[in-house]
Amino acid sequence: MNTRIIIISLLIFLLSAVSFSQVTRNEKLFEEVKKYGEAEVVISYPGRNAIELITRNVSITAVKDKKVYISLTAATLNWFLSQKFDYEVVEKEPAKGIISASSVSGAMEWDSYPTYTQYDSIMRKFQADYPQLCRLDTIGTSIMGRLVLVLKISDNVNDDEPEPEVFYSSTIHGDELGGFVLMLRLADYLLKNYNTDSRVRNLVDNLEIWINPLANPDGTYRTGNEIISPTRSNANGIDLNRNFPDPMNPSIVPEKENIDMMAFMRKRRFVLSANFHSGFEVVNFPWDRWLSKYHADHDWFYYISRKYADTVHVYSGPAYMNYYDNGVVRGAEWYIIYGGRQDFITWELQGREVTIELDDIKQTPAAQLELLWQYNRQSLIGYLENALYGIHGRVVDAVTKKPVPAKIYIAGHDKDSSHVYADSLTGYFTRFLAQGSWNLTFSATGYRDTVVQGVNVVNNQRTDLYVEMKSTPTDIDSVNPEKPLLFPNPSSDIIECRLPDSITGQVKVSVINSNGVKILEYLTSDRPVILNVAYLDAGVYTVVFKSTVTGHSASSRFVVYSRHY
């Protein structure tokens, strides 16, 4: 056999071996997805342009050590294979360290993982044991019908007080488990220490604290009542933290869990929040979707993120939470994602949220839960305290002293939905800013713009502000309509509603979307009635006004136009 024939035969053999290897690898990938509901693969870092394509189509879980880790489900597997990446399958190992508690009392030692029924019982026990401080609520249900539970902790827990509302949520990725137990333990800590710890008491007395330990129960308890083989995605194989509305990816259709979560967050309008993950150790702040854009309050975001990580370093080992800028990163500098909850809250709801990655290990072994708590306890408390600082104020009508739902912004500074709104029912607002002197503009339909200059903000201190706005005559003031008159309409901000004379006294206001679903209902005695539509999606809505005195009702339609697209 001559040399040429030998070389050709060798090439044929090698190509056949590569082809066979690829087929075998693909088969293994399909088997992993079929068996576990998802699979993780790793590819070499392909550069930012390629990452942009990948992140639009599959769920990147981490980028580290020049490698990209990707979670695949039945919904994304075919696209990934069509790209012909050179990849390795990360074999799923049994979760040996995920020890299930034998009882509710055992689970509340916080060194094991609760079953789903134990988790439900623990949440109910908090309310039963501390009825004056704790109330259990339901955000919604998962696709499989499991409850998505949330606790409210406050000194007057059954009242909606004019206090900043804050929100902690964990385990939107069902296999990232450390934050699940940490949130349960934090609730327990706040309730147990309210009467003995002045720092805890200050938080509970001056904030409304909401804690959702488990945002994706179907992913965590995929196989039943115990955590045996959790998945990142929900029961439909969708990564919920890539599934929120996004101006950069309008094709996203939110899953049921996220529809419920959005309705809950729109109702509460949290001024500060954080969601907890595992798989890395870093505090990640906006933006996740834009590398070239910085949030208007970038300096403030960096300050509170830096404070969380620096506090962690005081209580942890030397190698904990030290990636990127010693434990802090702007999201897009790590890797870009679309449909993330952090950017949705900060952009759509004018909130302020960060993403906190607690552990390199996604499924924190039960034996390490105590360390995770000791490392993060002071930071968890300190992050909530940020809501006590910044500018806290109230906006009212200069004559009637009634609340004005004003838009509050800083000319030349605010951009990309970084402004905030005063509450439509109370007029209260909170604005977080970096240390310095700021000029605030207050704007509301029917009122002259009011500018308050030289408002000083000092780190870790509170600045109080009381603003009176003077009304200006508008066409709506002189009209006494037979049907409700809405002005302006369409709107993306505030709508004034002039009601017929038959709608007297206290009025029940109901807002119904185009699908016939009632999304908002409340009572008011204000005239004119003010509708704050800034948090509603673009579309057509019906508003119904019903007098609680006469029983008469009247309705009208309004249009909300998008502020972002």
Q: Do 235 and 341 reside in the same domain of the chain?
A: yes
Task: Compute CA distances 218 → 112, 226, 230, 243, 261, whole Å.
Answer: 19, 11, 8, 16, 15
pLDDT over 90 (residue 375): yes
In a domain? residue 508: yes
Instruction: Judge whether 207 lies within some domain.
Output: yes
CA–CA separation, 159 vs 351, rounded Å?
Answer: 22
Q: Could you tell me if 432 and 540 lie in one domain?
A: no
In this structure, the answer to whether residues 423 and 384 fall within a common structural domain is no
Q: For residue 138, what is the domain's CATH number?
A: 3.40.630.10
Predicted structure pTM score: 0.81
Same domain, yes or no, for 447 and 483?
no
Residue 73, domain CATH: 3.30.70
Q: Total structural domains in the chain?
A: 4
Q: What is the pLDDT of residue 129?
A: 98
Whether 238 is covered by a domain: the verdict is: yes
Are 287 and 234 members of one domain? yes
Rounded Cα distance between 184 and 303, Å, is 27
CATH number at residue 448: 2.60.40.1120
- Cα 423–424–429 angle (5° rounding)? 20
Q: By three-state DSSP, how is residue 1 classified? A: coil
What is the rounded (10 degree) CA torsion for 443, 295, 59, 564? 30
The DSSP secondary-structure symbol of 447 reads B
Query: In terms of domains, do 376 and 399 share one?
Result: no
- Interval 214-268: pLDDT, tens: 999 999 999 899 999 999 999 999 999 999 999 898 889 999 999 999 999 999 9
Cross-strand bridge partners of residue 523: 508
State the DSSP H helix or E strand holding residue 380, giving kind and residue range, or none if neither: helix 369-385
Separation of alpha carbons 408 and 388, rounded Å: 18
Q: Are residues 252 and 141 in the same domain?
A: yes
* CATH number for the domain that contains residue 482: 2.60.40.3080
- Residue 504's pLDDT is 80
Is residue 354, in this structure, part of any structural domain at all? Answer: yes
**78 and 207 inside one domain:** no
Q: Is 2 part of a structural domain of the chain?
A: no
**% of the chain surpassing 90 pLDDT:** 72
Residue 75 sits in which domain range? 21-90
The secondary structure element, H or E, covering residue 328 is strand 328-330
Look at residue 95 and tell me if it is in a domain: no
Last residue of a domain, one of 388, 406, 434: 388
Mean pLDDT for the stretch of residues 287-293 = 95
User: Based on the domain organization, do 422 and 442 belong to the same domain?
Assistant: yes
Grade residue 476 by pLDDT with cuts at 50, 70 and 90. Answer: very low
For 134-172, letters b (16+ CB in 10 Å) and e give bbbeebbebeeebbbbbbbbbbebeeebebbbbbbbbbb
How far is 442 from 311, CA to CA, in rounded Å?
36
Query: Is residue 528 in a domain?
Result: yes
d(CA 233, CA 143): 12
Chain segment 263-286, per-residue pLDDT in tens: 999 999 999 999 999 999 999 999
Q: Which residues contact 496 (CB under 8 A, 6 or more apart)?
A: 445, 446, 474, 476, 486, 487, 528, 529, 530, 531
Q: Are residues 461 and 404 in the same domain?
A: yes
Strand partners, 429: 393
pLDDT at 303 over 80: yes
Note whether 488 and 542 are same-domain residues.
yes
Beta partners for 498?
A: 485
Higher pLDDT, 415 or 94: 415
Domain end (from 388, 405, 438): 388
- pLDDT at residue 564 above 50? no
Of 66, 90, 114, which residue constitutes the final position of a domain?
A: 90
- Does a structural domain hold residue 532? yes
Q: Are residues 311 and 344 part of one domain?
A: yes
Which two three-digit tokens encode residue 106?
A: 């055992």
